[in-house]
Structure 1
Amino acid sequence: MIREPGPVKWMLRLVAIVYVALLVVWPILIVAQRTFAPGWQAIMTSLSSPEVQHSLQLTAQATFWSVLCNLVFGVGISLLLVRYDFAGKGVLSVLLDLPLSVSPPVVGLALMLVYSRDSPVGSWLYSAGYQIIFATPGIVLATTFVALPLVIREVVPVLTEIGDDQEVAATSLGASGWQSFWRITLPGIKWAVVYGVVLTLARSIGEFGAVKVVSGNISLQTQTSTLVVQDTYQNFEQQTAYTVSLLLTLVAVVCITVVTLLRPKEDKA
């Protein structure tokens, strides 16, 4: 651990606090202040709007499937990357970080090109009765894609750290692969999985760019909560925009706070 002189340490703390306050705390406080300024009646009126209620339901649905898909896929791919050697492993690891590097609207455009009604895949799905673009499946795909690496990047370091000695011992004693996973591997990575799921949830709730492209932003059909925020603000319905924005922020903050408080001390280091 680096031991800095007292003044340097306090200066670094001050810089960090000011930086976070200006970029995160201050904007959130302003949104909260403007949300509560007209009173609770205005907040309830905003939340009772059919457009808002539908957007919240659609956001919850897309977030649920995004978290579920990325949980299963993330844990599986993490085990593959850490426990096995195969050709193209480095390339796969790089590709998994692609969603964090590519702009979300570009992701939405790519999905449009693959799954639109005019594309080979999209036309085949549409003829089979499945519409992807401008429908809920497209929103789920976009949301899942942008949050893809979050569980993996939480689980991989923990899997690497705990090693596979206990798993090998369990296998040598007759345990099956599933028994070894449920009784040894999963308990060792559970907090990494939980934190990855929370980050995925927060990322999925707030997704905007990719979803806007693939959804078409159709009110009461494919309009998610983040799209409602944009539309209501641009249409001079600021109270609704502030209310929905604060609600989405609070959900993410509460989830991260709860996990941080419940996480054992040895896992917080």
Structure 2
Amino acid sequence: MASLGGRWLRRLIVVGYLWLLVLWPTWYVAKNTFVGGFGAFWDLLRLPEVTSALEVTARVSVIAVAINVVFGVWLSVVLVRYRFPGRRVLSALIDLPLSVSPVVVGLALMLVYSPAYGWFGKPLSSAGVQIVFATPGMVLATCFVTLPLVIREVVPVLEELGEDQEQAARSLGAGTWQTFRRITVPGIRWALVYGLVLSLARALGEFGAVKVVSSRIAGKSMTATTLVEARSQFAPHEAYALSFLLAFAGVVCLVIVALLRSLGEKS
């Protein structure tokens, strides 16, 4: 009985912790989002500054995820299939975005690409190319914070697959691109989809790095997360609506990943 009571006590503590940390704040946001009904929620989402922020967020997220999928797969193949000096250092650097504050990332991009004092910002600005305070800067910031998610999903699968099938394809006359397209990609497809969805969820909710490099002009370069901050004081209903929408998108991404994992295990 004592051990049974201890187990139930531990479960209650864990559930209570999750309730206070995740469920209660999410429920509170949802409750305040729909306080005026679904119609009011829909009207808030149709406001010009809100639709613009959602469009900017979607555009930046899709571009960043596409870039990370391409370079993430390439880096994964390099890390698993090749041995070279500095390989472990490179592998450790890939995890850097998980340990560095996104605000620091934004500041670093400012120091490099600012048109006023950045190392590359001045020559780029003279050539008519603007990085920070524009879409390219927001894409770079989002790429940095989402970089490890694709790689850390693909690398273990590549290691598990080994090189036997790829070597067999090469021995039969297949080129590098044919081997990659017909052997490597089918083998990592589920891991690649997991990483893609997780990267998209992370990109949609990015705030710190994007805030630093964005001009935050409403209707032009304001993302959904920065608009939540801007509206939280004097227009909280807009902030609640956007927060709920971002949280809902994140939950949908997690559900998709869970479903895909089950499908991948069955296939």
Is residue 106 of structure 2 the alignment partner of residue 108 of structure 1? Answer: yes
Report the counterpart of residue 148 of structure 2 in structure 1: 149
The whole-number CA distance in structure 1 between the counterparts of 2:182 and 2:150 is 20
The whole-number CA distance in structure 2 between the counterparts of 1:198 and 1:181 is 22
Q: Report sequence identity in percent.
A: 56
- Cα displacement (A) at 1:32: 0.7
Task: Please give the residue correspondences for 1:226-237 in structure 2 after superposition, counting only pairs within 5 Å.
Answer: 226-235=225-234, 237=235
- Cα displacement (A) at 1:15: 4.5
Gaps of 5+ in 1: none
- Cα displacement (A) at 1:18: 3.5
1:110-130 residue CA offsets vs partner (Å, 9 max, x unmatched)? 000000012231111111111
1:43-66 residue CA offsets vs partner (Å, 9 max, x unmatched)? 122112111111100000000111
**Considering only aligned residues, what root-mean-square deviation do their CA atoms show, in Å?**
1.9
The whole-number CA distance in structure 2 between the counterparts of 1:10 and 1:266 is 34
Report the counterpart of residue 63 of structure 2 in structure 1: 65
The whole-number CA distance in structure 2 between the counterparts of 1:106 and 1:113 is 10
The whole-number CA distance in structure 2 between the counterparts of 1:46 and 1:175 is 55
The alpha-carbon distance between structure 1 residues 188 and 264, as it changes in their structure 2 partners (threshold 3 A), is: farther
The alpha-carbon distance between structure 1 residues 184 and 140, as it changes in their structure 2 partners (threshold 3 A), is: same
Report the counterpart of residue 161 of structure 1 in structure 2: 160
- Cα displacement (A) at 1:266: 5.9
> Which residue of the other structure, out of 25, 32, 55, is the alignment partner of 2:23?
25
TM-score, normalised on structure 1? 0.92
Is residue 212 of structure 2 the alignment partner of residue 192 of structure 1? Answer: no
The alpha-carbon distance between structure 1 residues 175 and 10, as it changes in their structure 2 partners (threshold 3 A), is: farther
- Aligned residue-pair number: 263
The alpha-carbon distance between structure 1 residues 267 and 20, as it changes in their structure 2 partners (threshold 3 A), is: farther
TM-score, normalised on structure 2? 0.92
CA contact (8 A) 2:115 2:122 kept: yes
The alpha-carbon distance between structure 1 residues 167 and 12, as it changes in their structure 2 partners (threshold 3 A), is: farther
Report the counterpart of residue 48 of structure 2 in structure 1: 50
1:22-48 residue CA offsets vs partner (Å, 9 max, x unmatched)? 322221111111111111232122112
- Helix, strand or coil at the partner of 1:148: helix
